[in-house]
Amino acid sequence: MARPLDHAKRAELLAAVVRYIADHGLVDLSLRPLAAELGTSSRMLIYYFTTKEELLVQALATQRPDVAALFAEVDDVATLRARLWEFWTTNTSGAGRTSVRVMLQVLGAACTAHSPYTDYAKTAIATFIDSLAVGLRGLGSVADPELVATLLVSGLRGILQDRLITGDAARTDRAARLLIDQVLP
């Protein structure tokens, strides 16, 4: 009889996987070096998560912010701007920085044909756009909430990627602020 999963150990592994990918990258991710860094074996990782791809998807799921709550009860443009800016700063210099670094790698990997990350990436993007569109609809003054949400989400994601690659905080902060202010007049 198989022994039951240790859920605390599983949660600990998921958090460590996100840190590992942020530091080492997703492109050449191999279970053996990952397992060695985590102090376990590749066999145990497969026991807990079935496949490498499932391990990554589950690790990312633990990092996903509650974007529905972020944009809930937004009743004016100033509040929405403030929440978008708060989200930006959390993901560039705060607690979300590590998970954003990993998320951008997964989104890039999802662009390849037959990527095991495509469904996860589509869901992540749709969740963010749908949640922001709900907030925009609540304002009552945005003609096409899905279009505006797409522009903000995709634009901020591109600026985030620029920041992670170039390290230019001042320029990317100004660009993010300009995008938010221009799209939400």
* pLDDT, tens only, 84-122: 999 999 989 877 888 888 888 888 888 999 988 898 899
The set of residues, in sequence order, having a beta carbon less than 8 Å from that of 177 and lying 6+ positions away, is: 85
What SS3 state is found at 137? helix
Domains of the chain: 7-61 (1.10.10.60), 67-183 (1.10.357.10)
Query: What average pLDDT score do residues 49-78 get?
Result: 83
State pTM to two decimals: 0.82
What does the alpha-carbon distance between residue 139 and residue 145 come to, in Å, rounded to a whole number?
A: 10
* 11 pLDDT higher than 90: no
DSSP tag of 114? T
pLDDT the model gives residue 3: 57
* pLDDT, tens only, 53-62: 888 888 888 8
Q: What are the tokens at 170?
A: 């001042």
pLDDT the model gives residue 1: 53
Of all residues in the chain, what percent carry a pLDDT higher than 90? Answer: 43
pLDDT the model gives residue 127: 92
What does the alpha-carbon distance between residue 146 and residue 152 come to, in Å, rounded to a whole number?
A: 10
pLDDT grade, residue 36 (50/70/90)?
A: very high
